[in-house]
Chains A and B, each alone.
Chain A
């Protein structure tokens, strides 16, 4: 379990993390979502005790991380790929880390095998690709067979096979009762693996809870209806609490009625339907809506024009 309580981090006059509080429970995969610059990595570094909070506390399995006697059994983290000396082999890097916690060489070989680096483990890590560096980082996170696994953007640089492997690994860990905390700015990835979701923007908590609630609470569902008699159908459907919009001729997006009700009304009036489908708000849309005002770096040409050359 990870507990973050009223956590803040200030860099100069910029508040990177602002009074953040949340709990990550064990047994499920929890996604940590936010636009670039939202403070995800800073929060994770503070949980690992690498950055010192300006105020607030973080606890792993009920204690501040640095008070644990066997740290690598409590939490394993991937915070940046290639946190390794380019002249050292992956094997020696892991053996050294393992030695500090009294973890044997057998476990080192096990995790190297697990992440698929056996063939290159004895080579100097300087020649590793981003994907291999990512796998090495995951190997070091798993070294102590920890209760909590925390990964910052783990799928970066991985090939599709690697992405699938990570997904299965994380679900497997969660099924074994471990706490799994994964950051990403890719909503689509989160939709596939996360059960809980913590969303932050500009260092502040925007939402925390089950992913399903997160999607349901956002703008919600609509039903798409395609019909050659769309205009007639629209008149039939609009009413109290029902809104109908149209994005192209012959297509209606209906909110406030479910698909069955729409189908029955159309049949009762003898109208022809070519399509009747439930449109769930994607996680992506829900996320965009939630963070619209909290995006640090808007890619608008207007902003470029006003700030260009000043290098804030």
Chain B
């Protein structure tokens, strides 16, 4: 076996050269990243946890809102946002998954094998982005839809105001939730690629998405009003909300700002990936 398998036809110059169709193409790099994603239990678990948080937390909120315990109805703009109440927490889980997908390769040394197979480097980053975005968007949209339908039926059973999928802005809010979760994951992926350190990247992303918005509210209100709407989490909330409230950005502007963060971080990751020692 070990001798016959090496090469059937060898001369120094022609041996095994470019056997039929063997070369690197972008779809093949995407395929590689897809295999890597699905062959790890940790990614499957993290995705499952994210879905469970979106649906489970949405159900929980729908069951307790306005019951005298937990948050009151006034804390939410409308019935849709009650059932999507788990998205904020789920973003934590999925941004960690994004970090693991990039920084995790550095922690384990897999990146050296990956870049040896694809020495052009950049296709690896874009391949991760494509695979992550596709898997995440599909799963998160299903989760958001599930959370909405289940949440509204719970609200309805409690004789509270409900929303229908056909109501204005509702479908956009569900798509928005999937976009926000996917974007949070991509921010994690980009920061993980920039820092190449799992713990550092998770700390930074969690800080930026979850801690900074709270801290900003402690600032004088003129500052808060000027900066607050442009934070990634608040920009994301503006296109997840059925109705735009207060000083939040419009859905379109919110999406543009949110996408801006992702593009800048990924561009930085691409430049450094190309330049640095692996």
Contacts and interface: CB of A to CB of B under 8 A. Distances in A.
B211 interface: no
B119 to A, nearest CB: 4
A85 B16 contact: no
Interface string B7-29: 10011110111110111110011
A83 B105 CA distance: 9
Nearest to A109: B5
A85 B110 contact: yes
Interface of A: 26-27, 45, 48-52, 65-66, 68-73, 77, 79-80, 82-89, 92-93, 95-97, 99-103, 110-111, 113-114, 140, 142, 144-147, 169, 172-173, 176-178
B113 A101 contact: no
Contacts of B19: 73, 145
Contacts of B17: 73, 147
B278 A50 contact: yes
A104 to B, nearest CB: 9
A166 to B, nearest CB: 11
Contact of A176 (B10, B29, B39, B278): B10
Interface of B: 1-3, 5-7, 10-13, 15-19, 21-25, 28-29, 31-33, 35-36, 39-42, 104-105, 108-110, 112-121, 275-278
B15 A96 contact: no
Contacts of A172: 3, 6
A84 B28 contact: no
A143 B28 CA distance: 16
A97 B119 contact: no
Given A66-B121, A85-B40, A145-B6, A96 B16 contact: no
21 contacts: A50-B277, A70-B22, A70-B24, A79-B112, A79-B116, A80-B112, A83-B113, A84-B110, A84-B113, A85-B105, A86-B108, A87-B42, A92-B39, A100-B31, A100-B118, A101-B28, A102-B23, A110-B1, A145-B7, A145-B16, A177-B13
Which 6 residue pairs spanning A and B have beta carbons closest together? A92-B39, A177-B12, A83-B109, A66-B119, A100-B32, A96-B35
B266 to A, nearest CB: 20
Contact of B11 (A68, A102, A177): A177
B113 to A, nearest CB: 5
A177 B112 contact: no
Contact of A52 (B7, B33, B118, B277): B277
Residue among A95, A102, A111, A178 having the largest count of chain B Cβ atoms under 10 Å? A102
A176 B6 contact: yes
B36 A88 contact: yes
A69 B7 contact: no
Contacts of B40: 85, 87-88
A100 B117 contact: yes
Contact of B35 (A83, A95, A103, A177): A95
A173 B109 contact: no
Contacts of A69: 18, 23-24
B43 to A, nearest CB: 9
Given A96-B33, A102-B25, A110-B1, 11 more contacts: A71-B119, A72-B22, A73-B22, A84-B110, A85-B104, A93-B110, A96-B32, A100-B118, A114-B5, A172-B3, A176-B10
A70 B17 CA distance: 9
Contact of B23 (A48, A52, A70, A85): A70
B41 A177 contact: no
Contacts of B42: 87
B104 to A, nearest CB: 7
A102 B116 contact: no
Contacts of B278: 45, 50-51
A89 B40 CA distance: 9
Contacts of B32: 96-97, 99-100
Contact of B12 (A27, A66, A102, A144): A27
A69 B121 CA distance: 13
Contacts of A83: 108-110, 112-113
Contact of B16 (A65, A73, A113): A73
A66 B116 CA distance: 9
Nearest to B32: A100
A102 B28 contact: yes
